[in-house]
Amino acid sequence: MDYVIEMLGIRKEFNGFVANDDITLQLAKGEIHALLGENGAGKSTLMNVLFGLYQPEAGRIRVNGQDVQITDPNKANNLGIGMVHQHFMLVDTFTVTENIVLGNEPKKFGTVNMKEAEQKVRELSGQYGLSVDPTAKIADISVGMQQRVEILKTLYRGAEILIFDEPTAVLTPQEIKELIQIMRALIKEGKSIILITHKLKEIMEVCDRVTVIRKGKGIGTVDVSNTNPNHLASLMVGRDVTFTTEKADATPAHNVLEVRDLSVNDSRGVQAVRHLNLDVRAGEIVGICGVDGNGQTELIEAITGLRKTSGGSISLNGKDITGLKPRKVTEAGVAHIPQDRHKHGLVLDYPIGTNIVLQTYYQKPFSKAGIMNYKEVYKKASTLIKEFDVRTPSETTLARALSGGNQQKAIIGREVDRNPDLLIAAQPTRGLDVGAIEFIHRRLIEQRDSGKAVLLLSFELDEIINVSDRIAVIYEGNIVAVVDPKTTTEQELGLLMAGSKKGADEHV
């Protein structure tokens, strides 16, 4: 086989920590090659080595059969390697073309020849079916379009090999479909692609071969046609993994949460939630699904008391909790796994042990007459750490030092332990690997089975369909449909999320 890129026996260390240990990745011409691994397995390190950001301690890199030293990203560019970053590197106030030529401007008498650049961008866009408007401002185009601009940026610089870093994380299902088409078009034009991901479905759908790394070690390369998602998952995690979360049918009882005609403004004062109605009953999980920015965040902030409402009411077990302060909402029986665990969920510079009492520190036995009883705090913490399998050297370790999955387990332990009537889980598995996801899903279902009401917000359709008992689709601040996860499809959800109404509007 002809390899365009060969990374042979790559080893990269950081202060004694081995991030890549003897990893080999060979990219054939014209293939889509997946690089699969858990968070922290060393995928990004390996790609940064290829892109010239890190120098490997051992191993060789060959491009088109020639040994090369990639000392900086410019060198990588010259060798035809382009990277489509997960977090876009675009200037919002510039046009598409201005962004694409940035740092590589066609010059004419000392000025930038924008006309020529626009023409070239238009040609490239047409060639690969990207349909990007070269004169649009970045701020005005969708996330999916912005990603295409990133792709164009690499093509404009003559990339033959494209690295996609978790490209689907920010996209809607429809956009993912379009991206896959684009990737196929790129292959047809003779490009080769490395796709960094931990989503197995995408690998099965679009990739030719997959290289798996686990804890910094290369596990091997397999043909996608000879494998299945379960096999890949066990290669990635190192043990068997179940995907479909086992659960009995829900037996919903009385309404725990009732949201009526709720309106909420976002930080800019624009109405983000518009006359929304929603019920969550005891013993069921309601999944909220929608494209980011359709009022989900504001809805949850309103329920938990973090944001003022501008109309309507929220009640918990028949008691009005509209406009209550967060502490009162918590005391009323609401627990909240926040979307951003670093910003809201934890005080990162506090030990993980004291984070466990973040909402209850003022209550007995943790506090008596204004004096903290840290012995009790750490006792509680060590129980929860054991129960929720939080891997930490000790309960006095700073929360900052824990991995994302263990931080999240600690938060879930804390929230569940308060024995709430309503558990709100906002993107509880964001950025976590399959093992942790499995654990968290099990815990959510456990809560449901013990008669709690669970409100789940997620941008992962798989998660929503797998875990929820009912799915409420949110679009432009309103619940536009409630569907049964057993009968719905990702296509249907995708259409609903994009705002196309079903014939008969089934309202909550």
Partner 1 sequence: MFKNWTVLAVPVISVLLGLLAGALIMLVSGNNPTAGYMALWNGAFGDSFYTGETLRQMTPYVFAGLAVAFAFRTGLFNIGVEGQLLVGWLASVWVGLAFELPKIIHLPLAILAGAAAGAAWGFIPGFLKARLRVHEVIVTIMMNYTALHITNHFIRDVISDGADATDPVRETASLQSAFLQSITDFSSLHNGIYLAVIAAIIMWFMLEKTTLGYELRAVGYNQHASEYAGMNVNRNIVLSMVISGAFAGIGGAMQGLGTFGNMFINSGFSGIGFDGIAVALLGGNTAIGVVLAALLFGALKVGSLNMPIESGVPNELVEIVIALIIFFVASSYMITWLLGRLKKKEAK
Residues that bind partner 1 (CB under 8 A): 304, 306, 325-331, 336, 338, 343-350, 354, 358-359, 361-362, 367, 370-372
Residue 256 CA to residue 5 CA, distance in Å, equals 57
Between CA 119 and CA 127, with CA 121 as vertex, the angle to 5 degrees is 105
| 338 or 428: CB nearest partner 1 | 338
| 238 or 362: CB nearest partner 1 | 362
| 48 or 355: CB nearest partner 1 | 355
| 248 or 371: CB nearest partner 1 | 371
We find the least distance from the C-beta atom of residue 431 to partner 1, in angstroms, to be 18
We find the least distance from the C-beta atom of residue 340 to partner 1, in angstroms, to be 8
| 26 or 359: CB nearest partner 1 | 359
| 95 or 330: CB nearest partner 1 | 330
Residue 385 CA to residue 207 CA, distance in Å, equals 39
| 330 or 406: CB nearest partner 1 | 330
We find the least distance from the C-beta atom of residue 414 to partner 1, in angstroms, to be 10
| 292 or 362: CB nearest partner 1 | 362
We find the least distance from the C-beta atom of residue 13 to partner 1, in angstroms, to be 13
- Helices 404-417 and 374-387, interaxial angle, to 10°? 110
Residue 295 CA to residue 475 CA, distance in Å, equals 8
Which strand ranges, in their side-by-side order, compose the sheet holding 271-281?
271-281, 255-265, 311-316, 319-320
Within 8 A by CB and 6+ apart from 162, the residues are 82, 83, 84, 151, 154, 186, 191, 192, 193, 194
The candidate with the shortest Cα–Cα distance to 426, out of 309, 326, 334, 492, is 334
We find the least distance from the C-beta atom of residue 262 to partner 1, in angstroms, to be 20
Residue 325 CA to residue 329 CA, distance in Å, equals 6
Q: Where does residue 279 fall: left (phi above 0), alpha (psi -120 to 50 degrees), or beta otherwise?
A: beta
We find the least distance from the C-beta atom of residue 330 to partner 1, in angstroms, to be 5
Residue 311 CA to residue 272 CA, distance in Å, equals 12
We find the least distance from the C-beta atom of residue 85 to partner 1, in angstroms, to be 26
Tally of residues, the chain: 508
Contact 197, 166 (CB under 8 A): yes
We find the least distance from the C-beta atom of residue 362 to partner 1, in angstroms, to be 5
Contact 96, 121 (CB under 8 A): yes
| 231 or 344: CB nearest partner 1 | 344
We find the least distance from the C-beta atom of residue 421 to partner 1, in angstroms, to be 17
| 103 or 370: CB nearest partner 1 | 370
Q: Which helix (H) or strand (E) holds 153?
A: helix 143-156
We find the least distance from the C-beta atom of residue 305 to partner 1, in angstroms, to be 8
Within 8 A by CB and 6+ apart from 359, the residues are 327, 330, 414, 418
The candidate with the shortest Cα–Cα distance to 423, out of 247, 292, 307, 287, is 287
Long-range Cβ pairs for the range 273-276 (8 Å, 24+): 273/298, 273/299, 273/302, 273/477, 273/478, 274/476, 274/477, 274/478, 275/311, 275/312, 275/478, 276/312, 276/474, 276/477, 276/478, 276/479
